[in-house]
Amino acid sequence: MIYAKNIIKTFKNGSMETHVLKGIDLTINSGEFVAIMGKSGAGKSTLLYQLGLLDDPTSGTIRIENTLTTDLSIEERTTFRLNELGYIFQDYALLPELTALENVMVPLLMQGKAQDEAKKIATASLERIGLGHRKDNLPSQLSGGEQQRVSIARAVAHNPKILFADEPTANLDSESGDAVIEIFRTLHAQGQTIVMVTHEKEYTTYCDRIIHLADGQIVQ
């Protein structure tokens, strides 16, 4: 499903260059639940952003199914992200002036779905993660765990091929973190491909594979 070849990412700051990813070769199969682990600064989030088309690698190629994503224009990448990928961020990344339901509806509307249809799908997605009763609440009225669940509902509402999660449990207490991982487990059981960055070993129990990064390279 994901084929990354010789991914190099270098950040430049004036004359100083920082090599964050140093030639990553990686394949992730359809339906896999993969965890990317490593110490702080190892390059795990940077790798996730390259795989999730949120950033451009300095060199190397990424193919998702039959699309060579590194060749896509900015507009094509936006559309690709909209239709094929889902994202969950560490800090939930919900829009503060939209209710839970409206947050989930946004990508669906952008896909061209009618308002009623988008509302129906978004409601179903929220109910699926147990937040149907909180759909009219603003993010500020939800707990951290609830906000992250809304974020998951938004990420999966349009049935993406791959779900990218960047430290989804880092800001949550253990109970909420467990709930999030439980949702991932359920989604994985339903065939969802998930790529998750985490530094918490206990949340990798249900993963098919753990990729360890150190100093910008896969070590295991």
Partner 1 sequence: MASFGQSVRVGIFLGVRQLKRANRSTTILIISIMTFTFLNLVVVSGILVGLIVGGNIANRNQYTGDVIATTLSGKTAIDNSQNFIATIAHDPQVTAYTARYLAGGTIEANYKTRTDFSNEANSVGGQIAGVDPSQEDDFSHISQYVVEGSFLTPGESGYIVLGSDILDRYSASFGQGFDSLKNVYPGNTVKVTINGNTREFIVKGIVKSKVGQVSLRSFMSNADFIQLSNRTDMDVNEIALEHNATITDDQMKARLVADGFTSVSQIQTATEAIPDFLTQIKTAFSLLGNLIGAIGIVVGSITIFIVVFINAVTRRKFIGILKGIGVSPMAIQVSYLLQSLFYGLCGSLLGSLILYGLLVPAFNAHPLNFPFSDGILVADIPTTIVRIIILLVVTLIAGYIPARNIIRKNTLDSILGR
Give the residues lining the site for partner 1 (CB under 8 A): 49, 54-55, 75-76, 78-79, 81-83, 85, 87, 89, 93, 95-98, 102, 105-107, 109-112, 138, 154-155
Residue nearer to partner 1 on the CB measure, 140 or 190: 140
Specify burial of residue 97 (Cβ count, 10 A radius: 0-12, 13-18, 19+).
exposed
Separation of alpha carbons 145 and 125, rounded Å: 16
Residue 128 main-chain phi, psi, to 5 deg: -65, -30
Residue nearer to partner 1 on the CB measure, 117 or 208: 117
Residue nearer to partner 1 on the CB measure, 84 or 200: 84
Instruction: Return the bridge partners of 8, or none.
Output: 22, 59
What minimum distance in Å lies between the beta carbon of 220 and partner 1? 27
What minimum distance in Å lies between the beta carbon of 36 and partner 1? 17
Using alpha carbons, list the distances in angstroms from residue 5 to 19, 21, 59, 68.
16, 12, 9, 11
Residue nearer to partner 1 on the CB measure, 102 or 146: 102
What minimum distance in Å lies between the beta carbon of 110 and partner 1? 5
- List helix spans (H) across 31-173: 44-51, 74-84, 100-110, 115-128, 144-156
What minimum distance in Å lies between the beta carbon of 95 and partner 1? 5
What minimum distance in Å lies between the beta carbon of 63 and partner 1? 19
Separation of alpha carbons 19 and 24, rounded Å: 12
53 Rama class: left (phi>0) / alpha (psi -120 to 50) / beta = left
Residue nearer to partner 1 on the CB measure, 25 or 97: 97
